[in-house]
Amino acid sequence: MRTHRNWILIALLSGACSCAAGPQRAPEPSELAAVSEQAPAPATVPATVPATVPAAAQATAPTAEQNAEAEPCERPPRPLSDDGVFFVQSTEPASPRVRYLDGQVSLNDSCAIRRGSKLNRRVPPIYINGQPIGFC
């Protein structure tokens, strides 16, 4: 009786270890049927429980950081800027375009007055033919 209880504990522990090793697919109905036809659990469990965790399994076991990355982000995304106007990448990395509150992106990527100067997202644009022209 006592040995039988030990086998049950080992079986439970092996199940916990397999859960900790990572997610597993749900067993197919045919597999479940095969398991039910097998010998009693205590006879098969010792063969499936390794004495020590293999090195390869240790290397592939997910860390706490990886688990945190896999979980969906619960925090709300941080706004890019406080006023909703922000820079967007353009062909010239040093002079990005500006996306304004109405969702339009500036037609120019450098100041329309001072050539080559980076746009200032705090300066409102003027609109020509409905397209914003940014300033520095």
Partner 1 sequence: MPTFARSAGLDFADYFDARRPAVIDAAHCVRLNYEGFFFADLWERERFRSDPLLYCGLLTDPVSRTRFRPNASSPRATHEGVTYFFENERNRELFEDDAEKLRLPGWKM
Residues that bind partner 1 (CB under 8 A): 101-102, 107-108, 111-115, 123-124, 126-131, 133, 135-136
Instruction: Give 87 or 108: the residue with its C-beta nearer to partner 1.
Output: 108
CB contact at 8 A, 43 and 81: no
3-class state of residue 71 by DSSP? coil
Instruction: Give 59 or 101: the residue with its C-beta nearer to partner 1.
Output: 101
CA angle 114, 120, 126 (to 5 degrees): 75
> Least CB distance from residue 117 to partner 1, whole Å?
10
Instruction: Give 69 or 102: the residue with its C-beta nearer to partner 1.
Output: 102
Measured CA to CA in angstroms, residue 30 lies from 11, 12, 37, 41, 52 at distances of 21, 23, 11, 18, 30
> Least CB distance from residue 131 to partner 1, whole Å?
8
φ/ψ (deg, to 5) at 85: -105, 125
Instruction: Give 23 or 130: the residue with its C-beta nearer to partner 1.
Output: 130
> Least CB distance from residue 19 to partner 1, whole Å?
55
